[in-house]
Amino acid sequence: MKKYALVFLVIPFLFSCSDSGFNNTNPFVPNYTFVVDLNLNLPEYSNLKFVSNAVYVTGIGARGVIVFNTGSGYNAFDAACPNQAISSCSTMTIKGINALCGCDSEEYSLFTGQGTLQYPMKQYRVQVNGTSLRVYN
């Protein structure tokens, strides 16, 4: 009887682990492991201090990363078009509060990463530490 009691106490702990609902899979955008720190006091990233502003960061991810200030935090998305194979036109550009795919002219919200096609933008994690942002996968 004590064995069964121990099993019933342990089982809820095994199923209580969560990945915070973070799904980062997309067949068109490969996975890259990186960590980059952005200092918001530098001129190239100072726009991120203000709500609804975005910055394009090159050299990380598949096609660079777009970092966006949502007002309640920050989002970071890969700049590769999520519904296109990597090609010469698959780097997205910032268009206000949206990102625009050059291949199919599809727009994606920088608040949610959602567009009208099958896959949303590939999202990365962002940690805020004072005036520094850590973007990582």
**pLDDT, position 26:** 86
Can you spell out the DSSP letters for 108-129?
EETTT---SSSS-PPEEEEEEE
Write the pLDDT tens digit of every residue in 57-80: 999 999 999 999 999 999 999 999
Name the DSSP letter for residue 6.
Answer: H
The sign one gets for the Cα dihedral 56, 120, 111, 72 is: negative
Burial class (CB in 10 A: 0-12, 13-18, 19+), 29: buried
Residue 114 pLDDT grade (very low, low, confident, very high; cuts 50, 70, 90): very high
Topology of domain 26-136, per CATH?
A: Rieske Iron-sulfur Protein (2.102.10)
Q: Mean of the pLDDT values across residues 94-116?
A: 95
**pLDDT, position 70:** 96
Cα–Cα distance between 87 and 19 in angstroms, integer?
Answer: 31
Write the pLDDT tens digit of every residue in 5-52: 555 555 555 555 544 555 568 899 999 899 999 999 999 999 999 999
Is pTM beyond 0.85 here? no
